[in-house]
Amino acid sequence: MFLASLAIATAHAQSGAAAGPPSPLATLVEWIPFILRGFLLNLGMSFLAMAIATVLGIGLGLLQLSRSRFLSLPAWLVTHLFRNSPWLVILFVVMLLVPFELQLPGGGTFIMSDWLKATFAFSLPVMANVSEIVRGAIVSIPKGQWESAESLAFTHGQTLRWIILPQCVKRAIPPWMNWYALLTMATPMASILGVREAVGNGQAAMEAAGARPELLVPFYLFLLLLFFAYIYPISIWTRMIERKYAVDS
């Protein structure tokens, strides 16, 4: 995939070579669509990784609060293992341990491409932090609500499902959104392992344009502004939700 991206970029660059090298800004403008196609992969990885992390994190958070030590202790260990491990190390471990082809029960195979491996790797530390968000939100609910529900003949599961979890949602959304923003900002690390996202495409474009040193600043500045334009509205929205919750409380 890298060679294909580089070949496309080189073909574009050679078409204008006869007129001399264009300015850094003109070169950037020429390659913006190419970089944006890579940015779509960043967004796709962030959406999929956050979905995986949310589902697994909710389950892990509930297991941490289990009355059985056989469930709560492993859940606690997994949570703290991935919460306190560097994301880049997790990325390398997943890339090395997960095979390229997975054998399915029916006899078929599932191809684990590099971007899928990176997506799964990014979901693991976020999963651990979602687990702590869920656990903390449930623990923050006053015990009197559990006792009141018990006096009304609610089972433990009914109390959790109908009384506790709905209140936890508002408490969990702001930190959940913060972790989505952090996850999105981490996706460019996948370019280290050859995933052709925005940073990888930007590097391929600079190589195709002659790897001129004067291209570094405009290209990386554009990438910075691209991620900022996507992440900053999320941070504003998160603060708005936090203020709304503070008023309600």
208 domain residue, yes or no: yes
Look at the chain and report how many structural domains it folds into.
1
179 domain residue, yes or no: yes
Mean pLDDT for 140-157 is 77
25 domain residue, yes or no: no
189 domain residue, yes or no: yes
Radius of gyration of the chain (CA): 23
What gap in Å lies between CA 134 and CA 176, rounded to an integer? 10
The CATH number of whichever domain residue 41 belongs to comes to 1.10.3720.10
Would you tell me how many other CB atoms lie within 10 Å of the CB of residue 132?
A: 17
pLDDT digits (tens, 9 = 90+) for 203-220: 999 999 888 899 999 999
Give me the residue label for tokens 């504003």.
236
What does pTM read for this prediction? Answer: 0.83
Are the CB atoms for 164 and 65 separated by under 8 Å? no
pLDDT band for 231, please (50, 70, 90 cuts). Answer: very high
What gap in Å lies between CA 249 and CA 202, rounded to an integer? 46
137 domain residue, yes or no: yes
Among 11-15, 32-36, 54-58, 245-249, the minimum mean pLDDT is found in: 11-15
229 domain residue, yes or no: yes
Q: Which two tokens stand for residue 199?
A: 């940073």
Give me the residue label for tokens 């999963």.
127
pLDDT digits (tens, 9 = 90+) for 3-36: 455 454 455 545 444 457 889 899 999 999 999 9
**Helix H or strand E encompassing 103:** strand 101-103
Would you tell me how many other CB atoms lie within 10 Å of the CB of residue 104?
A: 9
List the one residue out of 71, 74, 124, 117 whose CA is nearest residue 96. Answer: 117
Domain that holds residue 242: 2-16+33-248
What gap in Å lies between CA 8 and CA 204, rounded to an integer? 9
pLDDT digits (tens, 9 = 90+) for 83-117: 999 999 999 999 999 888 888 887 778 888 999 99
Q: Collect all residues with Cβ–Cβ distance below 8 Å to 112 and sequence separation of at least 6.
A: 98, 99, 100, 101, 102
Q: What angle do CA 11, 16, 18 make, to 5 degrees?
A: 120
More confident position, 44 or 136: 44
Report the pLDDT value the prediction gives residue 19, as an integer from 0 to 100: 55
HSE (side-chain half, CA atoms, 13 Å) at 206: 19
Average pLDDT score over the chain: 86
Q: What angle do CA 148, 154, 158 make, to 5 degrees?
A: 115
23 domain residue, yes or no: no
28 domain residue, yes or no: no
Q: Please tell me whether residue 53 adopts helix, strand or coil conformation.
A: helix
